[in-house]
Amino acid sequence: MKKLFLALVAVFALSMTVNAQNNLGVRIGGGQGYNAELSWQHGLGGNRLELDLGWHNGEHYDAFDLTGIYQWTGEIGSGFGWYAGIGANLGYFDYEIGDSDVAIAIAGQGGIEYKFNAVPIQLSLDIRPRFYIIPDMDDRFHWGDIALGIRYCF
**Distance between CA atoms of 88 and 153, rounded to whole angstroms?**
24
SS (H, E, C) 107-144: EEEEEEEEECCCCCEEEEEEECCEEEEECCCCCCEECC
- Helix-strand-coil split of the chain, %, nearest 5: 10, 65, 25
DSSP strand pairing (33-44 vs 22-29): antiparallel
Decide: pTM greater than 0.85. Answer: no
Q: 3-state DSSP call for residue 152?
A: strand
Is-contact 40 67, C-beta < 8 A? no
Domain boundaries, the chain: 21-153
pLDDT digits over 36-54, tens only? 999 999 999 999 999 999 9
pLDDT digits over 1-29, tens only? 666 666 666 665 555 545 579 999 999 99
Q: Hey, what CATH topology would domain 21-153 get?
A: Porin (2.40.160)
